[in-house]
């Protein structure tokens, strides 16, 4: 089996990239000539698999070319198929996910692999990393975060860094340092103008940061963003004291 264990070091997921920016960079550079990223999905739960395929397939730059339930189905469905990305269960005990990843990467030389897991605190093992897993993604995360992750993946032709882990127990793994500063500031009730003055940036930039925060956390407004971040324990009074005192 392919165990999940903490790596010595993990990279912060997309600290500086925005949702629309990765469309023309990274993995998207090596997709088909039409600019569409070709994706295979493996998940034993039919509703989850078909729902994910439906949502991803509706995106103009993504195409699901090989949905599959099992490892055997995935291998069979990807024979002779041009493939850029695979999403598969990394915590499955019915087969060896790492062996499956290694076989797929051997067949598709420039393949990127996202391993999905059930828990938000899971980490990829060294064996998973060596097999070719580039990112571990919790299945209870939101679609906006998944789309961001897909479009932010680096080109597999480049030297591989330590795989990223999307950890939804801490927005700091999704939000940039600047976005966390803005989030801390608005949690105190500071106005956009006050936050901008305290951080030495323009009000428009603050608003941009707020929209990015809402998108990444899957919320619709400032109050909801603060509530989610508070529940996750990432808001601090010290970070925004200078803006409100």
Residue 223's CB: how many other CB atoms inside 10 A?
11
Instruction: Dump the DSSP string for 113-143.
Output: EEEEESSTT----HHHHHHTEEEEEETTS-H
Top pLDDT among 152 and 219 is at: 152
Q: How confident is the model at residue 34 (pLDDT cuts 50, 70, 90)?
A: low
Residue 132 neighbours by CB under 8 Å, 6+ apart: 101, 102, 104, 105, 111, 113
Where do the domains of the chain lie, and which CATH numbers do they carry? 21-165 (3.40.50.2300), 171-238 (1.10.10.10)
pLDDT of residue 13: 36
How does pLDDT run across 15-26, given as a tens digit for each residue?
333 333 344 445
Average pLDDT of the residues in 180-200: 88
pLDDT of residue 178: 87
> What is the spatial distance between Cα 28 and Cα 152, in angstroms, rounded to a whole number?
9
pLDDT at 201 over 80: yes
The angle subtended at Cα 162 by Cα 157 and Cα 165, nearest 5°, is 110
pLDDT > 90: percent of the chain: 30
Q: How confident is the model at residue 75 (pLDDT cuts 50, 70, 90)?
A: very high
Top pLDDT among 154 and 106 is at: 106
pLDDT of residue 212: 83
How does pLDDT run across 88-137, given as a tens digit for each residue?
999 888 999 999 999 999 998 889 999 988 865 455 567 888 888 888 88
Please, what is the average pLDDT of the chain? 75
Q: How close are the terminal C-alpha atoms of the chain, in Å?
A: 54
pLDDT of residue 118: 80
> What is the spatial distance between Cα 235 and Cα 245, in angstroms, rounded to a whole number?
17
């Amino acid at each position: 089996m392919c165990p999940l264990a903490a790596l010595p070091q993990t990279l912060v997921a997309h600290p500086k990239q925005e949702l629309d920016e990765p469309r023309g960079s990274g993995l998207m550079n090596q997709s088909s000539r039409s600019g569409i990223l070709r994706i295979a999905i493996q998940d034993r739960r039919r509703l989850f698999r078909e729902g994910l395929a439906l949502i991803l397939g509706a995106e103009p730059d993504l195409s699901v070319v090989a949905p599959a339930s099992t490892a055997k189905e995935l291998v069979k469905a990807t024979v002779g198929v041009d493939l850029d990305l695979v999403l598969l269960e990394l915590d499955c005990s019915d087969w060896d996910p790492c062996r499956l990843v290694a076989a797929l990467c051997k067949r598709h030389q420039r393949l990127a692999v996202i391993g999905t897991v059930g828990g938000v605190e899971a980490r990829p093992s060294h064996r998973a990393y060596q097999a070719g897993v580039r990112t571990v993604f919790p299945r209870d995360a939101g679609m906006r975060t998944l789309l961001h992750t897909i479009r932010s993946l680096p080109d597999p032709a480049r030297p591989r860094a330590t795989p990223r882990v999307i950890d939804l127990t801490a927005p700091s793994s999704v939000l940039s340092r600047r976005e966390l500063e803005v989030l801390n500031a608005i949690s105190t009730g500071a106005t956009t103008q006050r936050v901008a003055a305290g951080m030495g940036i323009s009000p428009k930039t603050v608003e941009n940061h707020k929209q990015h925060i809402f998108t990444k956390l899957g919320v619709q407004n400032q109050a909801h963003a603060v509530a989610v971040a508070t529940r996750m324990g990432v808001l601090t009074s010290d970070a925004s004291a200078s803006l409100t005192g």
